[in-house]
Amino acid sequence: MSSIFTRIIKREIPAVIVYEDDLCISFRDIDPKAPQHILVVPKKEIKSMADVTEDDELILGHLLVKASEIAREQGISDSGYRIVINTNKEGGQTVGHVHLHLLGGRQMEWPPG
């Protein structure tokens, strides 16, 4: 069974897509936790950061580079933003397909909840 994010990649369910290339797709979170809340998702269906191997080095680096570019395009680069990768149950992960949250447009707190 494909993950919900793979279904977005295949255009089986809709999303507000902000960027896409051969390795990743980026779209707006359906339940935003900040004025800007964008997900950056590898097209390869890696379950979680706990499942990453050395083969994923290029993909993971790519996600970070694209998140930086998207933040610039969305106008939150100078003000600042947070990148989050929730991992497995105690990390708060709810979708079993690695994704990076790009959150911005408001002051972030530390430590996170």
Binding site for ligand AMP (CB under 6 A): 4, 13, 15, 27, 29-31, 39, 86, 92-95
Of 10, 75, 90, the residue nearest 38 (C-alpha): 75
Within a 13 Å sphere around the CA of 3, how many CA atoms are in the beta-carbon half? Answer: 17
54/113 with CB nearer ligand AMP: 113
How far, in Å, CA of 101 to CA of 106, rounded?
A: 14
CB 7 to ligand AMP: min, Å: 8
94/107 with CB nearer ligand AMP: 94
Is 97 annotated in the active site?
no
CB 100 to ligand AMP: min, Å: 9
13/50 with CB nearer ligand AMP: 13
Q: Which of 37, 62, 97, 99 is an active site residue?
A: 99
CB 61 to ligand AMP: min, Å: 20
Q: Annotate 63-95 with DSSP letters as a single string.
A: HHHHHHHHHHHTT-TTT-EEEE---TTTTT--S
Strands 36-42 and 17-20: unpaired
Catalytic residues: 99
